[in-house]
Amino acid sequence: MSMKIQNALVPHKHVRFSSSLIGMAGYIRQFTNQPTSVDGLWAKVEADNNSLFQLNFTQFIFSIDILLFLGIIFIDENGIIYNVGQ
C-alpha cells in the first residue's frame, strides 16, 4: 500500500480519526439503517452537517467502498444500499 493511500485510509499522528476514511465510513454507516440510494445517502450525510466530519463526495464514495468491501453494506442491481446487519 502506498504511503499516500495509507495516510488517507487510517488515522495517525497527522490525521485525526474523523478525517480518516475509516472514521468517515463509520460515520456514514449510521445513515444506512434504511435502504436508500447513493444520492439519498449523500443527502442524509449533507443534512446532518456534523462539524467533526467534513466530507467531500470523493471521500464519501471511498467510504462507501470500504463499507462494501467489509461486508457491512450491500448494493443491489438498482443501486439501493442495504445495511447487511439489519
- State percent of the chain over pLDDT 90: 53
Confidence of residue 21 (pLDDT cuts 50, 70, 90): confident
Nearest-angstrom CA–CA distance, 86 and 84: 6
Sign, Cα dihedral of 76, 24, 62, 21: negative
Tally of structural domains, the chain: 1
Flag whether pLDDT at 6 surpasses 70: no
Q: What is the pLDDT of residues 37-55, one digit of tens each?
A: 999 999 999 898 777 778 8
Q: Which tops the pLDDT comparison, 2 or 30?
A: 30
CB distance 57 to 42 below 8 Å: yes
In whole angstroms, give the CA distance from residue 12 to residue 36.
32
For residue 60, the enclosing domain spans 3-83
